[in-house]
Structure 1
Amino acid sequence: MNFFGKKQTPDEIIRQQNRELRRAQRDVDRSRTDIEKQEKQLEIQIKKAAKEGNKQLCTTLAKQLVQLRKSKTRTVAVGANIGAIGSQTKVIQANNKMAQAMATTTKTMSQMNAQLKPQQIMKTMQDFEKENQMMSMKEEMIEDTLNGILDESGDEEEQDAVVAKVLDEIGIEITGKLANAPTPSRDLASTSKVSDSEIEAQLAKLKM
């Protein structure tokens, strides 16, 4: 919870922790920089005391240098630990994002499953098939009725006019040939049986 008593979300907590880690890292880096400055100053003082032959002062400054370098080593270790914690925080944040994504996906799938009812879908498909069959039957009935009406309504004169127009479109030569084609004799018409040779002769005349 923050200062206003509002409960923080996981993302807000992680962001706050990251800010605190970055602040701690800056403090550690600043401390190490200060220690390095002190280390250089001690080294200069030790060299000066050695030139002056002040052994006691050299020993005292050397001990301080050893302690200072230990502190520097600890700051390096602390900085490494802060970096490791920061990496772990990033992993936690990534896992939290994945968990949120999974939760959203799960919620969406649950809503879709609630809407998709297999029995209702099956009934809809069956109703569609039934209506489709009825429509096909009605189309066949309408087509048969129309065909019957058209066949009964056409007179012979109109049909002959249509045939003549089609023959004219095909070509006058064909029309002429059909007009000049010999008609079967009454004897052939009255004969109950026509031979194959007679049929072939009539066909030959039509092809001329």
Structure 2
Amino acid sequence: MSFFSKKPTVKDQVRANDKVIKKSQRDLERERRELDRQEKQIESEIKKAAKQNNKQACTVLAKQLINVRNQRTKTYAMGSKMSSIGTQQKLMHSNMKMADAMGNTTKTMATMNKVMDPQKTAQTMRQFEMQNAKMEMTEEMMNDALDDIMNDSGDEEEQSAIVSQVLDEIGIDITGSLADAGAHSGNKVKAPAASSSVEDADLEKMLAQLRS
């Protein structure tokens, strides 16, 4: 045996034991077939002795037949026992693998517990929650401020632009009306003073509606 020979593992041992068990079961099957052959032969000899009325030979052969049958029954029992051993060793091997897996997991968990600090982790999570809440509050305040600025400036500027546009359009209409009135001035017909007051009142009414 070499000094540097590899030590067999549990898996190798289980495989070797399984080969031995299977070989033993094949041997039992061969022995059982041989016993079956002997049983038929003895039964045939008993029949012959009975025909010859040889009671002594029948008695001896009957005892042999009983022994053969008992031996065959033992082979069945032994085969069942060997099958049970094979199944048991496989279950043991499976349990050993599970135990090894649990051992490795336990080592990993122990290493992680040494590295991790539960108090530090909890503190970090609390700080994260505080900073996240602060950020959300800051963002909400900034959004409110921007909304106020946009509402204060944008709406007034937009309203002023609309009013200016409407006044310009009204001014163009008024200018056009005045131009038409100048074209007919040669007739020396003056418009009643009341019409100017009506136009002013209409203009004020329109401006009031625009401001509302």
State the TM-score, normalized to the length of structure 1.
Answer: 0.60
- Give the structure 1 partner of residue 76 of structure 2: 76
Q: 1:161 to 1:34 in 2, by over 3 A?
A: same
Q: CA deviation at 1:40?
A: 0.6
- Give the structure 2 partner of residue 20 of structure 1: 20
Q: 2: distance between equivalents of 1:73 and 1:98?
A: 38
**Which stretches in structure 2 are left out of the alignment for 5+ residues?**
166-201
- Give the structure 2 partner of residue 98 of structure 1: 98
**Residue pairs, 1:139-178, within 5 angstroms:** 139=139, 160-161=160-161
Offset from partner CA, 1:87-123 (integer Å, 9 cap, x none): 3223323322332342343344334434432123123
- Give the structure 2 partner of residue 38 of structure 1: 38
Q: Larger Rg: 1 or 2? A: 2
- Give the structure 2 partner of residue 172 of structure 1: none
Q: CA deviation at 1:35?
A: 0.5
Instruction: Give % identity.
Output: 46
Aligned residue identity for 1:39? E
Q: CA deviation at 1:13?
A: 2.0
Aligned length: 173
Q: CA deviation at 1:41?
A: 0.7
CA RMSD of aligned residues (A): 4.2
Q: Highest relative contact order (Cα 8 Å, sep 6+), 1 or 2?
A: 2
What secondary structure, in the 3-state scheme, does the structure 2 residue paired with 1:49 have? helix
- Give the structure 1 partner of residue 48 of structure 2: 48
Aligned residue identity for 1:43? E
Out of 176, 180, 196, the position equivalent to 2:205 is: 180
Aligned residue identity for 2:22? R
Q: CA deviation at 1:26?
A: 1.6
- Give the structure 2 partner of residue 197 of structure 1: none
Aligned residue identity for 2:90? K
Q: CA deviation at 1:59?
A: 3.2
Aligned residue identity for 2:18? N
Aligned residue identity for 2:84? A
- Give the structure 1 partner of residue 85 of structure 2: 85
- Give the structure 1 partner of residue 109 of structure 2: 109
Aligned: 1:64 with 2:64: yes
State the TM-score, normalized to the length of structure 2.
Answer: 0.59
**Residue pairs, 1:123-142, within 5 angstroms:** 123-132=123-132, 135=135, 139=139
Aligned residue identity for 2:38? Q
